[in-house]
Chain A
Amino acid sequence: MAEKDTKEIQTSEKEGIISDAVEKTAKAVEKEDKRSTPKINMVGDKKPSKIKLFDIVNYLVFILLALIIIIPIWKVVSDSFNEVGVYQFKLWPTKPTIGGYATIFTTTRLYRPFLNSVITTVVGTLVGLLMATLGGYVLNQYDMPGRSAFSYFLLFTMIFSGGMIPEYLVMKQLHLTDNMWILVVKHGMNVYNLVLMKNFFEGIPASLYEAAKLDGCSPMQIFYKIVLPLSKAALASIGLMFAVTVWNDYSTVQIYITNPDQVNFQYKLRVMIMDGDTPTTAYKVSQSTLYYAGIVCAILPFMAAYPFLQKYFVTGVNVGAVKE
């Protein structure tokens, strides 16, 4: 069974099947894992010390690895609550305070970029999803004249681009420089995500469309009554991809925006840290406390959501990687 699924992954052209196949295989492997565990122990009876040593070393190495990832993040969180800077290897605040966070959310030129980030991320994600779903849906209409022309029209942009400067000159003509909506314009149309969406839609059985068509549904009605409700998982994972991209974007702001009212939080944070610029504040906090609090604010939205949404985060990449 598992072998058959593997073959499907490698050869199948009908890409819609693959995610199911991957899931099935993963489940099969999980089951197999549990079943084969005693077997490994049986082999282990012959040379128990060696196997045990391998496992111990393996676990230790991975614990170390996890610590390497976690300690910097933990250190940032811990220092963001520390009133005075303790810069040595101490992993717990010595003088706890929330002054850093209070400063950020009471200083206009710090919380405005945060709000800009929130607004552009929400709008950017919605626009991005709208474009990806519309485009993906239309590209799946194989009896529509001009379909392949449309797909070449989109795919060409993945091969060739005007480059940073011509793009800048166009956006300047459109009065989108010094304007935070540039983030939505830059990320709202993503051909790669559109193709992912198309692949997701291919998994929806054609008979459903036929039935809806016979019932007299227009293409638009089929789109929002059948296609979208059946693609919630795809919408979640691709929506997250858009959200992460827009929220984390720094270089677009660096290139296009100089007006401090329009910058996003990533940019503001970096400028604050690089220029050593700190606002005067009523709270007694050291400079670095404020910086670390800023960093936590910049990563918190996704760090908080991530453990619950990990499935969706990973699906997007797997589909992109395995299928495309």
Chain B
Amino acid sequence: MSGKNEAAVKTRKKPLGLRIKNNIGFYLMFLPVFIFVLIIYYWPMLGIRYSFYSYKLRDIHWVGLEHFKNMFAAKEFWIAFKNTLIISIVKLLLNTFAAVLISIFLNEMTSLFCKKFIQTIIYLPHFMSYAVVAAIFTLFLSTSSTGMINETLKSWGWIDKSIDFLHTPSMWQPVFYIINLWKETGWGTVIFFATLSGISPELYEAAEIDGATRLQKMRYVTLPALSNTIIIVLILNLAKVLNIFEPVFVLYNNRVFEVSDVISTYVYRKTFLTAIPDYGYTTAVGLFKSMVGCILMLLSNFASKKVRGRGII
């Protein structure tokens, strides 16, 4: 959001009242945006005060830091916190790694048509919602006679008994990562392709003259060109690691809570699946999440400024 300050300097000669009057049309145009943002973003911020209240049904009374004490003492909360970090970070690293690998090798494809064609296909799953992707894989991985994957594996003689992929704690995370790789890797390559299209062909020619092989060119020209973008992608996503909700929510179930429950799903369950929820407690958990998220955002903004001289916000 930088630049063009010169224009502001020029007009500073005029009195403020006149400048406001001249821009009255713009203020009117901003009004709907202002009201909208106020209602859906700022109004809820007032609700943060409930973190310090007990809020059950219509009974609201002050409890001070009680909720935070309970939260830090709850085993469930720490499991959710740990899972959030593991799931988000492993997912981020795997998806980025796979996207970089695909971009580098797809970049080597000599036929432009094939390249475009493959790109079109691998972008597809991104436009399916998590709910749909989860529905597809839940059906495919089902243990009943309708589960395609178990039935196929059985008919090939690879397994004797159906495996309940989504209900076995040791299986759940790997399956989650694979499903996410299937859905998002292709789309993750978009940003790397934008960078690759900017690499000067002269670099490749120079490497060729120096006798570099195809793999050497990929290693010493393509990969270094991507390194900055890789760091940026990691930084940008670091700020959002705690926000993960829908991808987990649509795939988890009560038999795998200990490996799949994340903070947002924990908040959801404590609020909407409890007979008499204490909105105060779940607000407190949400506040903790927002605070950590805010710190991460500022950190990654700082890191982004260091790496590319420009913040992310």
Partner-B contacts on A (CB < 8 A): 2-3, 5-6, 9-10, 13-14, 22, 25-26, 29-30, 32-34, 36-37, 39-40, 43, 50-51, 54-55, 58-59, 61-62, 65-66, 68-70, 72-73, 75-76, 85, 87-89, 130-131, 134-135, 137-139, 141-145, 147, 150-151, 153-155, 157-170, 174, 185-186, 188-189, 191, 194-195, 198, 218-220, 223, 244, 247-251, 254-255, 266-267, 269-270, 273-274, 287-288, 291-292, 295, 298-299, 302-303, 306-307, 310, 313-314, 317-318, 321-322, 324
**B131, A155: Cβ atoms closer than 8 Å:** no
Q: List 22 A-B contacts (CB under 8 A).
A: A3-B200, A29-B201, A33-B110, A75-B140, A137-B26, A153-B34, A162-B43, A162-B46, A163-B286, A164-B282, A165-B282, A166-B45, A166-B48, A167-B47, A170-B40, A189-B33, A219-B25, A267-B131, A287-B146, A298-B128, A306-B124, A317-B190
Any A CB within 8 A of the CB of B112: yes
**A88, B151: Cβ atoms closer than 8 Å:** yes
- Going nearest first, the 7 A-B pairs with the smallest beta carbon separation are A166-B47, A163-B286, A162-B44, A248-B129, A219-B25, A250-B131, A166-B44
Q: Residue of A at shortest CB range from B106?
A: A62
- Give the shortest distance, in Å, between A318 (CB) and chain B (any CB): 5
Residues of A within 8 A of B69 (CB): none
Residues of A within 8 A of B114 (CB): 59, 62
**B197, A25: Cβ atoms closer than 8 Å:** yes
Determine, out of B77-85, B87-95, B167-175, B202-210, the stretch whose residues face the partner at the interface.
B202-210
Any A CB within 8 A of the CB of B226: no
Contact A33-B127, Cβ < 8 Å, known A88-B152, A157-B41? no
Any A CB within 8 A of the CB of B298: yes
New contact pairs (20) apart from A66-B118, A151-B1, A170-B39, CB-CB < 8 Å: A14-B3, A26-B197, A40-B110, A43-B208, A69-B122, A69-B186, A88-B148, A88-B155, A131-B36, A144-B23, A155-B313, A166-B44, A166-B286, A189-B33, A189-B37, A218-B25, A250-B246, A298-B132, A299-B132, A306-B124
Task: List which B87-131 residues lie within 8 A (CB) of chain A.
Answer: 102, 105-106, 108-110, 112, 114, 117-118, 120-125, 127-131
Residues of B within 8 A of A244 (CB): 127
Any A CB within 8 A of the CB of B182: yes
Contact A143-B45, Cβ < 8 Å, known A6-B198, A249-B129? no
Any A CB within 8 A of the CB of B7: yes
Residues of A within 8 A of B267 (CB): 163-165
**B46, A166: Cβ atoms closer than 8 Å:** yes
Any A CB within 8 A of the CB of B250: yes
**B127, A137: Cβ atoms closer than 8 Å:** no
**A142, B135: Cβ atoms closer than 8 Å:** no
Residues of A within 8 A of B195 (CB): 322
- Give the shortest distance, in Å, between B6 (CB) and chain A (any CB): 8
Residues of A within 8 A of B118 (CB): 62, 65-66
Any A CB within 8 A of the CB of B157: no
Residues of B within 8 A of A155 (CB): 1, 313
**B122, A291: Cβ atoms closer than 8 Å:** no
Residue from A88, A162, A220 whose CB has the most chain B CB atoms within 10 Å: A162
Contact A69-B145, Cβ < 8 Å, known A166-B283, A255-B268? no
Q: How far is the CA of A157 from the CA of B40 in the complex (A)?
A: 10
Q: How far is the CA of A177 from the CA of B201 in the complex (A)?
A: 56
- A195's contact among B1, B39, B45, B283, by CB below 8 Å, is which? B1
Any A CB within 8 A of the CB of B8: yes
Residues of A within 8 A of B176 (CB): none
Q: How far is the CA of A51 from the CA of B2 in the complex (A)?
A: 48
Residues of B within 8 A of A68 (CB): 182
Contact A299-B127, Cβ < 8 Å, known A154-B37, A273-B139? yes
Q: How far is the CA of A220 from the CA of B25 in the complex (A)?
A: 7
Interface bits B217-254 vs A (CB < 8 Å: 1, else 0): 00000000000000001000000000001100110000
**A317, B191: Cβ atoms closer than 8 Å:** yes
- Give the shortest distance, in Å, between B159 (CB) and chain A (any CB): 14
- Give the shortest distance, in Å, between B190 (CB) and chain A (any CB): 5
Q: How far is the CA of A10 from the CA of B297 in the complex (A)?
A: 22
- Give the shortest distance, in Å, between A138 (CB) and chain B (any CB): 4
Residues of B within 8 A of A143 (CB): 7-8, 10-11, 19, 23
Contact A163-B290, Cβ < 8 Å, known A189-B36, A220-B25? yes
Q: Residue of A at shortest CB range from B36?
A: A189
- Give the shortest distance, in Å, between A299 (CB) and chain B (any CB): 5
Q: How far is the CA of A137 from the CA of B23 in the complex (A)?
A: 13
Contact A303-B127, Cβ < 8 Å, known A58-B108, A163-B287? yes
Any A CB within 8 A of the CB of B74: no
**A65, B122: Cβ atoms closer than 8 Å:** yes
**A288, B25: Cβ atoms closer than 8 Å:** no
Residues of A within 8 A of B27 (CB): 144
Any A CB within 8 A of the CB of B306: no
**B44, A163: Cβ atoms closer than 8 Å:** yes
Q: How far is the CA of A195 from the CA of B279 in the complex (A)?
A: 33
Q: Residue of B at shortest CB range from A299?
A: B128
Task: List which B9-44 residues lie within 8 A (CB) of chain A.
Answer: 10-11, 16, 19-20, 23, 25-27, 29-30, 32-34, 36-37, 39-44
**A310, B120: Cβ atoms closer than 8 Å:** yes
Q: How far is the CA of A163 from the CA of B114 in the complex (A)?
A: 45
**A295, B152: Cβ atoms closer than 8 Å:** no
Residues of B within 8 A of A170 (CB): 39-40, 43-44, 47
Residues of B within 8 A of A72 (CB): 136-137, 140, 182
Q: How far is the CA of A138 from the CA of B24 in the complex (A)?
A: 11
Q: How far is the CA of A106 from the CA of B120 in the complex (A)?
A: 34
**A163, B48: Cβ atoms closer than 8 Å:** yes
Interface bits B54-82 vs A (CB < 8 Å: 1, else 0): 00000000000000000000000000000
